Amino acid sequence: MGMGRPRAFDADAALDRAMDVFWRHGYEGATIAQLTEAMSINPPSLYAAFGSKEGLLKAALDRYTEKRDAWMDRVVSAATAHEVAERFLMEHADAQTDPANPPGCLLVQGGLACGTGSANVPFELAARRTRTEDQLRERFVRAKAEHDLGESVDPATLARYLSAVTSGMCVMASSGANRETLREIAAVSLKAFEEQTKP
């Protein structure tokens, strides 16, 4: 007879469900009861596996970042800087209004209304957003070296601009903006990007 019991839940599936709760309610708004119900585990199992609510958030963010990195690899693989920006903006508009997910973006939604008891959470989320910005900046540095961007263009500023636009789109999506509205914003932002990046 085997010793001990197998883990009562699939870790990836449980993290996906926890991610959904944090996404919908933010870190502060998500309760242990909501998280354990969504994950089909009890509180002792949650604490045994993740140490704390914040530990669970970090694990969920790791899962989210893994998926986001796979998407970003495809975004930055576009042939030109313009195509990179177009993919980034338009696919953000689509993803943030995808009915399969909560509206907006976990990296913004997760940090809304964080109190003093969760001081580390906004920094954790900001670090993840910075990771995306860094991936864009590195791609634009390469584009400039390949003469795909003008000499006066600052890759860091471009990356920061796109990141700011999509963060704003996220807030709008969470407030009910539809896909058409976000795509219109993406299109205007892309025109501004074109004006700033002419070789």
Q: Identify whether the C-beta of residue 93 lies closer than 8 Å to the C-beta of residue 169.
A: yes
183: CATH: 1.10.357.10
Determine, yes or no, domain membership for 77: yes
Q: What angle do CA 90, 136, 139 make, to 5 degrees?
A: 115
Determine, yes or no, domain membership for 12: no
Determine, yes or no, domain membership for 5: no
Contacts of 103 (CB under 8 A, 6+ apart): 96, 97, 173, 174, 176
Determine, yes or no, domain membership for 42: no
pLDDT the model gives residue 112: 55
Q: What is the distance between the alpha carbons of residues 91 and 77, in angstroms, rounded to a whole number? A: 14
Q: Mean pLDDT for each 10-residue chunk of the chain (199 residues)? A: 48 89 87 94 92 91 89 96 97 92 78 56 81 95 93 94 93 91 97 85
Determine, yes or no, domain membership for 1: no
Can you give the residue range of the structural domain that contains 112?
63-196
pLDDT the model gives residue 193: 93
Q: What is the distance between the alpha carbons of residues 60 and 20, in angstroms, rounded to a whole number? A: 9
**What is the tally of structural domains in the chain?**
1
Predicted TM-score (pTM) of this structure: 0.82
Determine, yes or no, domain membership for 163: yes
Determine, yes or no, domain membership for 81: yes
pLDDT the model gives residue 169: 93
Q: What is the distance between the alpha carbons of residues 6 and 2, in angstroms, rounded to a whole number? A: 10
Determine, yes or no, domain membership for 128: yes
pLDDT the model gives residue 1: 38
Q: What is the distance between the alpha carbons of residues 168 and 108, in angstroms, rounded to a whole number? A: 9
Q: What is the distance between the alpha carbons of residues 128 and 138, in angstroms, rounded to a whole number? A: 16
